[in-house]
Structure 1
Amino acid sequence: MTKRLTDQIVRRASAGNRPQVFFWDDQVKGFALRVTTRGAKAFVLDYRVNGRQRRITIGSYPDWSVAAAREKAKAMKREVDLGADPMGERHDERTAPTVKDLWSRYSSEHLALKSPRSQADETAMWRDLILPQLSKEHVRDISTDHVERLHRRISVERGTPVRANRVIEVFRKALNLAIRWQWRSDNPATGIRKNPEHKRERYLSLDEIARLNKALADHPEQTSTDAIRLLMLTGARRGEVLNATWDMFDLDAGVWTMPSAHTKQRRLHRVPLADAAVELLRRIKRSNESVYVFPGKSSDNPLTDIKRTWQSVCNKAGIQNARIHDLRHSFASILVSHGASLPLIGAMLGHTQVQTTQRYAHLYDEPLKGAAELVSQAINGASYGPNIGD
């Protein structure tokens, strides 16, 4: 039936025994009232786009009046005339991927390729920091303002400015992948001003190393102290040492070959071992039946935590403000003091980028100054006139 819809018609409209009935408006083509057998009433609009018949619900009665629904229908028809598809856009809105969907795909396709430690760390970032704020937001709607608010909340409200920087780095990577997946065309996390970070550089002196060796020898826990010794002797990362398996070592050749899945850079890394490291490993192997060099409580799993032992030996040795990772920096500083070049240090530590090793360049100041003094003395000694600098 077709006639001009009025409030009186809408109030009286009934579907009777039929599942639903449409009361079509004769003023706006395609505009109608739909009534179900249970008495539910809603305004709809039928239209055609690209040869396809569409029906979109405008709203329910009495939430929408006849006049308001008719004006909305007119506006939609104007959009259709301009090439829009209101029903398609509404469907896209419902099905558009959210940040929660982004996390799901990111974790399965990207994060799964990272080390267990990185997986655990980034999972915590998403679970505790990103998703509580943004999970329901559509990826295409994420703006720079969203990202800045997230960064600010972690920095200020939680008081963890460095963590805030790491979270934004992870989120930026996820949004870069969203661009690749054609979920959006730009990355709003690019260019976010990060909190200042001061690189912490702590090198153990030879005296501290001597005291540490004494404390390690006196400590009752041998597995974790041996792990710390291997860290000192190789400059390897904690995860590389704790997850090391015997099949990575050729003790006759004195070489530790880390497979790509074992290293931070995801590249095979071949580490020549000093005689002291080989001797340490031979001693460990004599009483070790696990596939892991440093087994945990179960021989089927690696040791996961040496922090308590580290803190204990540092306290006994009187070493303040030192982290386990500082053993890696100390390894590099000893190499510098004995004349090793930056490329050699980078190769020993498994660096893939020159700028990573460049952080140790300032350690050359004293050796270089000494070399400059030697040149100065030679020049002054060979001079016939006044010495340079006089």
Structure 2
Amino acid sequence: MSKLTKRLVDSLVAEPKERIYWDDELGGFGIRIYPTGRKVYIAQYRANGRTRRKNIGQHGVMTAEEARKEAKFIHADVARGADPSADRKARLRSPTVMELGERFITDHVQLHLKPTTQTDYINMLRKKIYPALGSIKVFEITFNDVAAFHLKLRDTPYQANRCVMLMSKMFNLAEDWGYRPMNTNPTKRLKKYPEAEKKRYLDEVEQEKLGETMAQMLTDGKISRYVFAAFYLLLLTGCRLSEIQKLKWDYVTRTHLELPDSKTGRRRIPLPREARQLLASLEQRDDNPYVIIGDHATGYYNDLQKPWRKIRSRAGLEDVRLHDLRHTYASVAVMNGIDPFMLKEILGHKNLSTTLRYAHLSDDAVQKAAGQIANRLSNTLGRLN
């Protein structure tokens, strides 16, 4: 076959079977003629060890020279590692972001993540991501789409960053599931918004004020013994709220809280003497397995945030969250010289870096100790001038 030109292609006639004529000047460029007489320019190439063909366009709609130029572009893309034919098939069968999200929920989130994380992810998908991006094909979504979505949430930087983090995982799985080419995650290189880290913890004066307030409210009947115990246990153990709120008597041993499941999996939490005494003061009911009993006969105290708001308001600690009680435990530990590796195990952190966020607090303890040493030495040595 010679070079494909308009005159040559016009002269080719259909046969009972489909036939391809190849250009002798540009390898992998040809014309496919169907028995119906329809003529379509094609490009043939090899990708991933397989021979593939991609339709370029119909003769008559485009010229032979236009098709030749397009074939060169296709071959150039292949040389850079692309697979145009496979990409087209992927584009045609690509689900929408909403369809991907629903598979992400059933095939990943519900199988591998904790219930609270499942709820967070599902809410982010259905309330934030779907309304903005849900109708776009997964194959077609771009970095600019994600960046524009991220920008719209700039007034809530923590939420904006969490949504992008979720999408990053989701689009990694989209590649694994064959919905996008590998290494094309559209969230890559997106710069996260800075987040103001909340490190509120109670100093000794505030701790004393909180203790007095809770004791008075217990005496006045403003909070129950179980609510009182819940907040004290948070401070005495450094546990997460859910770990105390949903604590069962079956998990309580003489020396530890043996949690079969938590945010970071199975946990064994040391139970100090003060915490054991507090637990011993609580009534155990045969019909209720939970330690912190709520309003329902067989359940736990469902909303500890409500009594906490009353307590912190009366104590003048309006900016203190329940999670800050855990921060307080960690700060006291660091300022008293507890080794970070040991504290990591006590708090149940997955990574040491999380524990080391409190490391700067040890500077206060070191400074105080250095001052005590210098004071003793100066008393012994006498006046310095």
The TM-score normalised by the length of structure 2 is: 0.72
Match of 1:127 in 2: 126
Q: Give structure 2 stretches of 5+ with no counterpart.
A: 1-9, 11-29
Distance 1:163 1:55 in 2: 43
RMSD: 4.1
Q: For each residue in 1:284-316, what CA deviation from the matched residue of structure 2 results, as whole angstroms up to 9, or x when unmatched?
A: 343352223335554555443211111122223
Match of 2:153 in 1: 154
**Contact 2:150/2:164 (<8 A) preserved:** yes
Does residue 68 of structure 1 match 2:71? no
**Contact 1:215/1:317 (<8 A) preserved:** no
Identity of aligned residues (%): 26
Does residue 236 of structure 1 match 2:239? yes
Alignment partner of 2:325 out of 324, 327, 332 = 327
Q: For each residue in 1:118-162, what CA deviation from the matched residue of structure 2 results, as whole angstroms up to 9, or x when unmatched?
A: 11111111111112222233334333222211110112xxx3122
C-alpha displacement of 1:71? 8.0
Distance 1:372 1:334 in 2: 18
C-alpha displacement of 1:178? 3.5
Q: For each residue in 1:184-232, what CA deviation from the matched residue of structure 2 results, as whole angstroms up to 9, or x when unmatched?
A: 3243323322222221222222223332333344324444443223222
Distance 1:339 1:55 in 2: 68
Distance 1:239 1:49 in 2: 60
**Contact 1:203/1:333 (<8 A) preserved:** yes
C-alpha displacement of 1:234? 1.6
Alignment partner of 2:210 out of 208, 211, 215 = 208
Does residue 169 of structure 1 match 2:165? yes
Number of residue pairs the alignment of both structures matches: 343
- Decide whether aligned partners of structure 1 residues 381 and 225 sit closer, same or farther in structure 2, where only a CA change above 3 A counts: closer
Q: Which amino acid aligns with 2:171?
A: L
**Contact 1:31/1:70 (<8 A) preserved:** no
Match of 1:255 in 2: 256
**Contact 1:310/1:324 (<8 A) preserved:** yes
Q: For each residue in 1:30-52, what CA deviation from the matched residue of structure 2 results, as whole angstroms up to 9, or x when unmatched?
A: 56898xxxxxxxx8859898999
Distance 1:383 1:283 in 2: 53
**Contact 1:225/1:309 (<8 A) preserved:** no
- Decide whether aligned partners of structure 1 residues 106 and 226 sit closer, same or farther in structure 2, where only a CA change above 3 A counts: same
Q: Which amino acid aligns with 1:174?
A: M
C-alpha displacement of 1:318? 2.9
Match of 1:7 in 2: none
Q: Which amino acid aligns with 1:177?
A: L
**Contact 2:246/2:292 (<8 A) preserved:** yes
5 Å-filtered alignment, 1:271-286, equals: 271-286=269-284
Alignment partner of 2:369 out of 364, 368, 371 = 371
**Contact 1:129/1:154 (<8 A) preserved:** no
SS of residue paired to 2:151: helix
C-alpha displacement of 1:80? 12
Q: Which amino acid aligns with 2:348?
A: G
5 Å-filtered alignment, 1:326-345, equals: 326-345=324-343
Distance 2:197 2:283 in 1: 37
Q: Which amino acid aligns with 1:348?
A: I
Distance 2:74 2:366 in 1: 76
**Contact 2:41/2:55 (<8 A) preserved:** yes
- Decide whether aligned partners of structure 1 residues 47 and 294 sit closer, same or farther in structure 2, where only a CA change above 3 A counts: same
5 Å-filtered alignment, 1:4-15, equals: none
Distance 2:314 2:375 in 1: 45
- Decide whether aligned partners of structure 1 residues 163 and 82 sit closer, same or farther in structure 2, where only a CA change above 3 A counts: closer
**Contact 1:80/1:86 (<8 A) preserved:** no
- Decide whether aligned partners of structure 1 residues 327 and 89 sit closer, same or farther in structure 2, where only a CA change above 3 A counts: closer
Distance 1:336 1:86 in 2: 58
**Contact 2:255/2:271 (<8 A) preserved:** yes
Match of 1:142 in 2: 141
Match of 2:360 in 1: 362
Q: Which amino acid aligns with 1:139?
A: V
Deviating more after overlay: 99-108 vs 291-300: 291-300
SS of residue paired to 2:153: helix
Distance 2:134 2:68 in 1: 32
Q: For each residue in 1:48-107, what CA deviation from the matched residue of structure 2 results, as whole angstroms up to 9, or x when unmatched?
A: 98999x998989xxxxxx953888996799689969998876543221244234323322
- Decide whether aligned partners of structure 1 residues 175 and 93 sit closer, same or farther in structure 2, where only a CA change above 3 A counts: closer
C-alpha displacement of 1:381? 6.2
Deviating more after overlay: 318-327 vs 128-137: 128-137
Match of 1:317 in 2: 315
**Contact 1:258/1:269 (<8 A) preserved:** yes
Match of 2:196 in 1: 198
**Contact 2:238/2:330 (<8 A) preserved:** yes
Q: Give structure 1 stretches of 5+ with no counterpart.
A: 5-27, 35-42, 60-65
- Decide whether aligned partners of structure 1 residues 275 and 47 sit closer, same or farther in structure 2, where only a CA change above 3 A counts: same
**Contact 2:42/2:56 (<8 A) preserved:** no
Deviating more after overlay: 237-246 vs 138-147: 138-147
Distance 2:236 2:120 in 1: 27
The TM-score normalised by the length of structure 1 is: 0.71
Q: Which amino acid aligns with 1:202?
A: R
